């Protein structure tokens, strides 16, 4: 019988990476089961990742190499448009300091885009050969680039007019990650995790 662990009584495992079947308590009170790859390099804060096969992660790194120039161009275009909408909206409301801060923020977003794009391109090439650890590096670079986390993804945002708010609110952190599936889902010791079973102790 496969041992069952909980966040309060976690598994003691030496592997940096393992696969676990995780039971979540959903908001409706039902339990949802999902197989996750666990990044256990920090055993005190193991991270749940999408359970992709190593070969699939390597393929996604290759696809990032191909798609990133187009994604980076889209990011730059988005921030140029956002600069006009933020500055215009603030000027229309007479908020000159906020208009100035919006201008600085969006110009910086445009300036830093090529540097983050080049860094991700480099690691995506490396990730073809070392998929597991490099997936985490790419995910961190994307978070740093956008200043957002997985929970800020517009793909997960169910609120009304989330995209519209992004273009008139300087504090809005909504984003669309190029490699959304590379982003960690949560810690394994998240309060929503009821229990987990290790299905593959070493990757």
β partners of residue 37: 19, 49
Q: Evaluate whether residue 10 is within a structural domain.
A: no
Domain count across the chain: 2
192 and 177 within one domain: no
156 and 107 within one domain: yes
Q: Evaluate whether residue 93 is within a structural domain.
A: yes
Mean pLDDT by 10 residues, the chain (203 residues): 89 93 88 94 94 96 97 97 96 94 97 97 97 96 94 76 89 92 94 94 88
164 and 89 within one domain: yes
Q: Percentages helix, strand, coil for the chain, rounded to the nearest 5?
A: 50, 15, 35
148 and 62 within one domain: yes
175 and 80 within one domain: yes
Q: Evaluate whether residue 9 is within a structural domain.
A: no
Q: Evaluate whether residue 124 is within a structural domain.
A: yes
CA distance 146 to 169: 15
Cβ neighbours of residue 182 under 8 Å, at least 6 residues apart? 49, 50, 60, 135, 136, 138, 139, 142
132 and 70 within one domain: yes
CA distance 75 to 88: 20
168 and 72 within one domain: yes
Query: Three-state secondary structure along 156-191?
Result: CCCCCCHHHHHCCCCCCCCECCCCHHHCCCEECCCC
Q: Evaluate whether residue 152 is within a structural domain.
A: yes
Q: Evaluate whether residue 4 is within a structural domain.
A: no
> What pTM does this model have?
0.89
**What DSSP state is assigned to residue 93?**
T
Its domain, for residue 163, covers 54-182
58 and 42 within one domain: no
111 and 29 within one domain: no
Q: Evaluate whether residue 5 is within a structural domain.
A: no
Q: Evaluate whether residue 170 is within a structural domain.
A: yes
158 and 71 within one domain: yes
H or E segment to which residue 102 belongs = helix 96-127
90 and 60 within one domain: yes
73 and 114 within one domain: yes
pLDDT at 158: 67
């Amino acid at each position: 019988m496969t041992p069952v662990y909980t966040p309060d009584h976690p598994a003691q495992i030496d592997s940096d990476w393992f696969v676990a079947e995780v039971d979540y308590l959903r908001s409706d009170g039902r339990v949802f089961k999902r197989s996750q790859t666990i990044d256990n390099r920090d055993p005190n804060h193991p991270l749940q990742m999408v359970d992709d096969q190593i070969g699939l992660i390597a393929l996604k790194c290759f696809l990032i190499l191909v798609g990133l120039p187009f994604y980076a161009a889209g990011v730059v275009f988005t921030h140029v448009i956002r600069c006009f909408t933020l500055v215009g909206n603030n000027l229309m409301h007479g908020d000159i300091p906020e208009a100035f801060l919006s201008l600085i923020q969006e110009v910086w977003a445009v300036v830093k885009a090529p540097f983050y794009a080049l860094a991700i391109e480099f690691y995506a090439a490396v990730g073809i050969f070392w998929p597991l650890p490099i997936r985490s590096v790419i995910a961190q670079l994307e978070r740093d680039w956008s200043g957002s986390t997985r929970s800020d993804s517009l793909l997960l945002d169910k609120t009304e007019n989330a995209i519209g708010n992004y273009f008139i609110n300087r504090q809005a952190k909504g984003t669309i990650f190029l490699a959304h599936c590379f982003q960690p889902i949560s810690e394994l010791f998240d309060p929503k995790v009821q229990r987990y079973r290790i299905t593959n102790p070493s990757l």
